Amino acid sequence: MQLARHQHGKHPLDKGNPDCGDFQTLYTDLMTRTALRDHTVVLIGLMGAGKTTVGRRLAASMNRPFADADHEIECAAGRSVSEIFEDFGESAFRDGERRVIARLLDEPPMVLALGGGAFVDPETRALIGQKAISVWLQADVETLATRVARRDTRPLLREGNPTEILERLLETRQPAYAQADIHIDASAGTHQATADAILTALNARETQA
Ligand code: S3P
């Protein structure tokens, strides 16, 4: 798993790629040449927003590594997120989450998907503000509820009606999420379309800078 993050390809123009003139390559090249290359792009938002899937696609488009914070926490703890909640409780999970994210933010620029609660932590949010560009994947609760119903891996959603829990979480977390640098509508469209929208927003931000 460690390997996968560092296995990303070289710069597209270094590969002797015969397609290097095509639009995608030029676009990727533009992105990697800009100052954005110095920043990790962090994806935040509620459970079901698509952070992991969109993040993988975004990382591929930007030709950089991808990491999923929950997955890294699971590796570090040798347990699933559910098991960490069961065995040690949520506050131990949050401590581990804070430490793992701090470590990942010190690695070379990547696309990093966070668990839904991570950006609510003031320390994590401040660190991301200093070291990364944050992107909030926004989606309505109905869409999120449909998506999270596909997997039973989220301990917080087992405590009651998932739609009601998501509504409550959105209400309490919105003020923190709203502090993200970029807000993207991730309700409709494919994950690839969302990744493309993020790329466009990052590029626009860079042009303005
Ligand atoms: C959580 C979201 C989960 C995971 C944990 C807690 C949250 O990640 O970190 O179950 O507090 O919203 P995803 O947002 O990737 O599902």
pLDDT tens column, 99-131: 999 999 999 999 999 999 999 999 999 999 999
Residue type present at position 83 = E
Backbone φ, ψ for residue 2 (5° rounding): -55, -45
- β-strands 66-68, 111-113: how paired? parallel
* pTM of the model as a whole: 0.85
Q: How far apart are CA 93 and CA 54, in angstroms?
A: 24
So where are the chain's domains? 40-208
Distance 45 CA to ligand 1 centre (A): 9
Q: What is the CA radius of gyration of the chain?
A: 17
Q: What are the residues facing 135 on neighbouring strands?
A: 43, 182
Nearest CA to ligand 1 atom 4: 115
Nearest CA to ligand 1 atom 11: 117
pLDDT tens column, 171-204: 999 999 999 999 999 998 899 999 999 999 998 8
Q: Which fold has domain 40-208?
A: Rossmann fold (3.40.50)
Sign of CA dihedral 4, 133, 123, 168: negative
